[in-house]
């Protein structure tokens, strides 16, 4: 994976090292206009993901709350996702 993903992964790792994993809560969604990135390191507010089929436009919904009764999946603690056009391209090992 190229683009922002390696830099984001490195930056998140550095933040967690500098502040200490037990001393920081961090969830984020970020986009460069094409790719979308999601990261979760906050047990009190985990991030959830819901995939939509092509009939819905092929999307991935992300939220800190399950906003429907559908099968939302946790993205996993300390994992960085790279998403493009409704497809998860990369789900990192825990950082």
**pLDDT at residue 86, rounded to an integer:** 85
pLDDT tens, position by position, 22-35: 999 999 999 988 89
Full-model pTM: 0.87
pLDDT tens, position by position, 48-60: 999 887 676 778 9
Predicted confidence band of residue 14 (pLDDT cuts 50, 70, 90):
very high
The 3-state DSSP class for residue 88 equals: strand
Q: What does the mean pLDDT of the chain come to?
A: 91
**pLDDT at residue 3, rounded to an integer:** 78
Per-residue pLDDT averaged across 81-85, rounded? 92
Burial group, residue 38, by CB count within 10 angstroms (0-12, 13-18, 19+): buried
- Is 4-91 CATH 3.60.20.10? yes
8 Å CB contact between 72 and 60: no
Distance of alpha carbon 82 from alpha carbon 65, whole angstroms: 20
């Amino acid at each position: 994976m190229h683009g922002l993903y390696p830099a984001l992964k490195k930056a998140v790792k550095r933040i967690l090292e500098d502040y200490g994993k037990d001393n920081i809560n961090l969830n984020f969604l970020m986009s460069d206009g094409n790719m979308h990135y999601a990261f979760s390191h906050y047990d009190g507010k985990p991030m959830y993901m819901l995939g939509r089929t092509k009939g819905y436009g092929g999307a991935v919904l992300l939220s800190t709350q399950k906003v429907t009764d559908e099968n939302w999946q946790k993205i996993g603690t300390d994992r960085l996702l790279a998403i493009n056009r409704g497809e998860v391209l990369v789900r990192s090992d825990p950082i």
